[in-house]
Amino acid sequence: MENQILTSSDHHANWDALEKHFEIAKEKQIPFVINGDIIGDYNFEIIKNELKLKFPYEISEDILKQNLSEELLDKYLTFIQIKQAGGDASRLLHGVPEHLQQEAVTKLNGIIKEVQSEEFQEKITKINNDNPSEHIISEHKIKLKSLYQIIVKLHAKKLAELISKHQVETYFLLGNHEPINFVNLTKIELMKSGNENLLHDLTHINDIQNANGIKICGVPNVCALMPFLTEIYEESELNQMFGHQRGQQRPILFGEIKKKIKDKTNTEFEKDFDWIRIMKNNESKDKEFDVFFTHGQVGRGAWRDDKFCNEMPTLHVAAMLSELAQITIDGHLHTTHQMTNDLGKPTLRAVGNKAFLLTKNKEGKIEKELLEVDAQYDSRGKIDLKDLDLNHEILQEIFSIN
């Protein structure tokens, strides 16, 4: 059917639900727009433990456990927690009754002073010198990176299989769980069956797209890396791998974004690479389009009508595109919801086993229908090594068993 698309997001390895969406798109012969986060890596640490791999801090902690008393180790680990909290001891007071907080802060500051003392630091230095661990940490990091890359590639392979099987034209906008090369990895898999032209990279494609008569564009507009990634990759590596949500400074808005986008003197967003690729250096800025896809939120987002999430900075370009579109489709929050965003624009989100069927009527207006498929949805999607046939590949690639 012309002038119709299907869209859903945040599938996180819920393959049964995702395939049923593909079946709907195939039956109706319409494109399927996946608005980010197909990867399910919430149980990465469990898999790491199954494979007897360790994060660098775990290796260092093991050495300290063998060489420090329990009391000194607790103090050192508390100091590390304070350091990770920006050096502010008060940030560790969650759950401490108010009348005890001052006493707790005094105790924590005492720990900071003791751990930073010359005597304590000499003890830590001696332990590290007597127990060199750089080579062990390096080996584990290499293996953990390999594990992560295998998992990403197998998600790309699974998506490619669904696209090829159902022959559905698919648009994919990167979420916060996908590295920047995810669509290219999927295309490589699709090349094996000659179906690479069925997949479009909504994160990088130029100009406003005509998806079966509905004009669309997309910007990830999100910054939320999985914590385990910072344990195995350097900052410079993450900037390259997740360039769609990190890297160069970009014009952002925060608070009262509706008022701020009305400021016609603020044109910094026109230098943003997403504005340039979509609006073609302003050649297309007067073009009308129907749907703006963003994995993150424009202004405040909400899980449901009575529960808003904390506002995150909104890319200025994302706010401008939401303002120009008829409706905005967001994701990331793992609940299906309909609302009006802070710009006053209708905003929809369908996740997991739900999807929106969007239809452009004769008057050019977008109509919506919420669909739900008969499949379970685990919003904290997990990787099952057996289901993804990882066992042999992990043993072969990570542990170099021939």
Check whether residue 109 and residue 252 sit in a common domain: no
Check whether residue 161 and residue 73 sit in a common domain: no
Check whether residue 278 and residue 158 sit in a common domain: yes
**The last residue of a domain, from among 109, 132, 155:** 132
Structure tokens that stand for 138 in this block: 């390096």
**The last residue of a domain, from among 112, 132, 152:** 132
Q: State residue 387's pLDDT score.
A: 58
**The last residue of a domain, from among 132, 159, 184:** 132
C-beta of residue 25 within 8 angstroms of C-beta of residue 373 = no
Task: Give the integer Cα–Cα distance in Å for 20 and 375.
Answer: 8
Could you give the number of structural domains in the chain?
2
Q: Which domain holds residue 263?
A: 4-47+140-397
Check whether residue 254 and residue 355 sit in a common domain: yes
Check whether residue 182 and residue 266 sit in a common domain: yes
pLDDT tens digit string along 325-376? 999 999 999 999 999 999 999 999 999 999 999 999 999 999 999 999 999 9
For the question of whether the overall pTM of this predicted structure is more than 0.85, the answer is yes
Check whether residue 241 and residue 337 sit in a common domain: yes
Check whether residue 111 and residue 252 sit in a common domain: no
The partner residues of 18 in beta bridges, in order of sequence, read: none
Q: State residue 400's pLDDT score.
A: 47
Task: Give the integer Cα–Cα distance in Å for 168 and 379.
Answer: 24
Task: Give the integer Cα–Cα distance in Å for 383 and 151.
Answer: 8
Structure tokens that stand for 74 in this block: 């607790």
Residue 402 domain-assigned? Answer: no
Check whether residue 148 and residue 229 sit in a common domain: yes
Residue 180 domain-assigned? Answer: yes
HSE (side-chain half, CA atoms, 13 Å) at 62: 11
Q: State residue 63's pLDDT score.
A: 92
pLDDT tens digit string along 299-312? 988 877 778 877 78
Check whether residue 230 and residue 100 sit in a common domain: no
Task: Give the integer Cα–Cα distance in Å for 279 and 271.
Answer: 11
- Average pLDDT per 10 consecutive residues for the chain, totaling 402 residues: 96 96 98 97 90 90 91 90 77 84 91 93 91 91 92 94 98 97 97 98 94 97 91 92 80 85 84 90 70 95 79 90 96 95 94 98 97 95 69 57 38
Residue 277 domain-assigned? Answer: yes
Residue 193 domain-assigned? Answer: yes
Check whether residue 120 and residue 245 sit in a common domain: no
C-beta of residue 222 within 8 angstroms of C-beta of residue 175 = yes
Residue 10 domain-assigned? Answer: yes
Q: What is the dihedral sign for C-alpha 56, 59, 62, 64?
A: negative
Task: Give the integer Cα–Cα distance in Å for 368 and 38.
Answer: 23
Check whether residue 201 and residue 272 sit in a common domain: yes
Task: In the chain, count H helices and then E strands.
Answer: 14, 16
Check whether residue 34 and residue 75 sit in a common domain: no
Q: State residue 401's pLDDT score.
A: 37
